[in-house]
């Protein structure tokens, strides 16, 4: 479980990348599956209003946390019909956010960002009443030009392209002034709160360390100082030795239901080698990830025979070098679905106190997900 360079190995990517600008100045990047030169793509000719200023950050002195105030997002697109989807390719009859008539994977700056478009450091020495611009970046990742489908249904080559896109954007966004953390994630399902049906994810580049990341970074840093070992690596070794919650053990990655799972459905996918972020994964690791990751998502849908809402969250090391030494990339997939027709809602204990109560046992959930894999593949 040794460390790894924080920058990507250019040979790890199999994807062709090209960049353009949308009519209002936002950056858009095409990530192509093939290695041949990409086709010539049209410009965005829409008559768009200019981009507004960034929203606002306000400091919650009671908790010591930053809160983004983004009132302009109240008017963002919400569950449009297929013929008005902003992530579908443009046609002669209708222009979307993506000028091309077809694409593989696209990443572009969100038109309704929670953070940015300005870049700014958070105000120093904050207290009650401290506010400042919500600097950073919010990007949308369109996984396919097909309006229907799921990430689990993408072919392996396309998943590899998405991984390369995450790596590219993680490295680029981490280098922006003021950015402290880069977060790649997918919200799936209306029960989670998605506003677009088209298969897509998002990337946030925060100007501060988020509360959850700060808690995990402190724990990892303390464990490293006390033992000289990686906390996530230690947990991975413990889960593999115990075995009761293991789902997959590959050459480069393992997946398990964590010992202290908070959610009815929770899966952690962890590389065997300590790396700080997706950009640091080598080619072989990305290849295996492109197979294992959609398989895990597919098990969630197979569990109850219908689409399961989930949040897929990539936990990457903070940009700060002092915290990066103990950082360890891993994926956490969580779902509030506790039965075929029931969801877990965050009520008093969870929402008010942050004290989770799980209605399932991690061992039972792991056993059911292992059985699901057998049903899906037809193996014994």
Contact yes or no for 163/294 (Cβ under 8 A): no
Rama region for 193: left / alpha / beta (φ>0; ψ in -120 to 50; rest): left
Q: For residue 98, list its beta bridge partners.
A: 89
Q: In what order do the strands lie in the sheet with 246-249?
A: 16-21, 27-32, 105-109, 137-142, 200-206, 181-188, 310-315, 330-335, 265-271, 253-256, 246-249
Comparing CA positions, the residue from 148, 39, 155, 160 lying closest to residue 100 is 39
Structure tokens at 199: 């298969």
Torsions phi, psi of 222, nearest 5?
-65, -40
**Could you say which DSSP state residue 118 is in?**
S
Question: What is the distance between the alpha carbons of residues 180 and 206, in angstroms, rounded to a whole number?
Answer: 6
Residue of 200, 272, 315, 330 marked catalytic: 200
Give Cα separations from 176 to 115, 147, 205, 316 (angstroms). 13, 32, 9, 16
Interaxial angle between packed helices 362-377 and 283-304, expressed in degrees from 0 to 180 and rounded to the nearest 10: 100
Give Cα separations from 96 to 80, 150, 187, 335 (angstroms). 12, 21, 21, 31
Question: What is the distance between the alpha carbons of residues 142 and 100, in angstroms, rounded to a whole number?
Answer: 13
Please name the residues in contact with 147: beta carbons below 8 A apart, sequence gap of 6 or more: 82, 85, 87, 88, 197, 198
Question: What is the distance between the alpha carbons of residues 121 and 173, in angstroms, rounded to a whole number?
Answer: 14
Estimate to the nearest angstrom the gap between the alpha carbon of 78 and the chain centroid: 20
The answer to whether residue 75 is catalytic is no
Which residue numbers are catalytic?
Answer: 200
């Amino acid at each position: 479980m040794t460390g790894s360079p924080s920058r990507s190995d250019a040979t790890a990517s199999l994807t062709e990348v090209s960049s353009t600008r949308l009519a209002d100045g936002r950056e858009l990047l095409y990530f192509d599956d093939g290695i041949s030169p990409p086709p010539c793509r049209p410009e965005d000719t829409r008559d768009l209003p200019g981009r507004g200023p960034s929203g606002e950050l306000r400091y919650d002195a009671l908790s010591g946390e930053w809160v983004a105030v983004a009132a302009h997002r109240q008017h963002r697109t919400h569950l449009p019909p297929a013929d008005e989807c902003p992530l579908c390719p443009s046609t002669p009859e209708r222009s979307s956010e993506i000028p091309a008539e077809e694409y593989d994977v696209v990443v572009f700056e969100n038109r309704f960002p929670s953070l940015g478009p300005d870049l700014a450091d958070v105000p120093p020495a904050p207290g009650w009443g401290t506010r400042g611009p919500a600097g950073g970046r919010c990007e949308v990742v369109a996984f396919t030009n097909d309006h229907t489908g799921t990430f689990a249904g993408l072919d392996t080559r396309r998943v590899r392209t998405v991984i390369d896109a995450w790596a590219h954007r993680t490295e680029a966004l981490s280098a922006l002034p003021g950015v402290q953390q880069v977060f790649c994630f997918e919200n799936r399902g209306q029960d989670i709160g998605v506003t677009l049906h088209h298969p897509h994810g998002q990337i946030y580049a925060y100007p501060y360390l988020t509360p959850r990341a700060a808690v995990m970074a402190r724990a990892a840093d303390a464990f490293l100082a006390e033992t000289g070992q990686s906390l996530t690596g230690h947990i991975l070794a413990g889960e593999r030795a115990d075995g009761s919650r293991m789902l997959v053990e590959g050459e480069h990655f393992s997946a398990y239901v964590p010992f202290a799972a908070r959610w009815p459905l929770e899966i952690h996918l962890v590389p065997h080698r300590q790396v700080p972020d997706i950009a640091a994964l080598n080619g072989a690791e990305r290849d295996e990830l492109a197979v294992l990751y959609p398989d895990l998502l597919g098990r969630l849908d197979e569990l109850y025979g219908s689409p399961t809402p989930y949040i897929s969250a990539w936990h990457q090391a903070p940009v700060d070098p002092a915290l990066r030494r103990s950082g360890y990339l891993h994926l956490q997939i969580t779902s509030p679905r506790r039965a075929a027709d029931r969801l877990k809602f965050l009520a008093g204990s969870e929402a008010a106190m942050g004290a989770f109560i799980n209605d399932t046992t991690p061992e039972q959930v792991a056993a059911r997900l292992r059985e699901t894999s057998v049903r899906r593949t037809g193996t014994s």
